[in-house]
Amino acid sequence: MEEERAATGAIERALTVFLAGAECPFTCSFCDLWRWTIDGPTPRGALPKQLGRALEGLRGSLPERLKLYNASNFFDHRAVPIDDLPRIAELAAPFQAVTVESHASMIGPDVLAFQNLLSGKLEVAIGLETIHPVAMAHLNKRLDLARFDRAADFLGAHDIGLRVFVLLGLPYVPAEEGVEWTVRTVEYAAARGAARITVIPVRGGNGELERLQALGDFVPPTLAQLERALEQCLPIRSAVITADVWDIERLPACETCRAKRVVRIQSMNHSPSPKSPPQVPCSACA
């Protein structure tokens, strides 16, 4: 269960359910989600059963939003059997909004079919990751800006919300340019209709990133860089821009001011103010 800022400035409650199913066909160099998938296609009926069990445990008033993440692409029939969509939509009926995640290349008629099954508003999350030309070519994501633009236009034309994931600290982006390229990518996504944009620091652990780090092609991003990237995005008012704080304790940081910087990031996540909270003074970082 999470709290996140809505476009109105209000704090919205969201329930994220992680569904186990087939592995994503895109083997992005930064991704470790394959660890939470199964061998072979997702069996029919498995996802509705998982979702039903997750919702059984809810107590009290329901959150406004349901986020369904399956470590793959929601509109990949191998990962989410099309016959399961009506039951998934039925289980999602009590929620005002539903968010699913998909590669931009899979945005099309299947999205509209699922939208028509839902009683709440649909939002699709797409990983743009970066507009840095070298990094984008090396990510193995098989995504170019034209394809992302077509997906964004399609969602906008059908009144479907667009959430975008942007990465900080990507391989092949010099560390001193990491924040700049993250902010530029956020600006790009906002200009193409993204209503929500999440900045996610790249985290090691999948083996490939460790290999690239040994070669000097990847430098793990720091907590200070995440703080600075989010702060520089505050003037962008057309979208809600937040930093992903999951596993934030893994980010390299000064232990003297780490806790205060995390609080400052969370404050910027929850506040609609175009001004950042006061910066954290730290003699150890001076």
pLDDT at 262 (0 to 100): 95
| Architecture per CATH, 2-270 | Alpha-Beta Barrel (3.20)
Check residue 36 and give its pLDDT.
80
**115 close to 157: Cβ distance less than 8 angstroms:** no
The string of pLDDT tens digits covering residues 248-276 is 999 999 999 999 999 999 999 998 776 77
Query: What confidence score (pLDDT) does residue 24 get?
Result: 86
What pTM value is reported for the model?
A: 0.94
pLDDT for residue 286: 54
Residue spans per domain, the chain: 2-270
pLDDT at 224: 94
CA distance 97 to 112: 15
Each residue's pLDDT tens digit, 18-46 = 999 988 888 777 777 777 889 999 999 99
Name the stretches of the chain with pLDDT < 70.
274, 286
Say how far apart CA 161 and CA 155 lie, in whole Å: 7
Residue 132 has a pLDDT of 96
pLDDT digits (tens, 9 = 90+) for 209-234: 889 899 999 999 999 999 999 999 99
Main-chain phi, psi angles of 65, to 5 degrees: -120, 145
Question: In this structure, are residues 232 and 183 in contact, taking their beta carbons and an 8 Å threshold?
Answer: yes
Q: What angle do CA 279, 280, 282 make, to 5 degrees?
A: 135
Strand order through the sheet with 97-101: 2-5, 11-18, 65-69, 97-101, 121-129, 161-168, 196-201, 240-243
